[in-house]
Amino acid sequence: MPKTSTGETPYSLVYGTDAVIPVEVGEPSLRYFRESGHQNDDSRRQELDEVEERRDMAYVRMVAQKQQAECYYNTRAKIRPLKVGDYVLKAKTQASKYPREGKLGTNWDGPYKIMAATSKGSFTQATMEGKQLPNNWNITHLKYFNF
């Protein structure tokens, strides 16, 4: 089956032609029946010449689909501009909550100071005393803190 991202079957991208089902060889279909030896050789050479072009077009379609998915995601992503030096609160996970606090316990830890932006939406943090936290935290688990 053709993939939606490339518009081609994986077999045709590798070998340059569509697969022939063994049933078509025993019970010739119209596609298989119409091909003669000389005509088949010519069409096979032409398909092999066009393989690189088909692969390039499949790659272009795949990249375009990925860009479209990225654009779709980025339009719905909430952008929270945090920069180095800002103070943030870090969300508590269920594992880090104290069981004695119960449901009325705090949901946020902090404040922490952002030390560096490691990648898109990920930050290195330090405590108020300057001790750096061992892991990076994603922006979805952070909230801006005002003094």
Contact 115, 142 (CB under 8 A): no
Q: Which burial class, exposed, middle or buried, applies to 78 when counting CB atoms under 10 A from its CB (0-12, 13-18, 19+)?
A: exposed
In tens digits, what is the pLDDT along the chain, a chain of 147 residues?
A: 667 677 777 777 777 767 666 654 556 666 666 666 677 677 777 777 888 888 888 899 899 999 999 888 888 766 678 889 999 999 988 777 888 888 888 899 889 999 998 877 889 999 999 999 998 988 888 999 987
Contact 114, 84 (CB under 8 A): yes
Report strand pairing: 87-91 vs 108-119. Answer: antiparallel
Q: Does the reported pTM lie above 0.75?
A: no
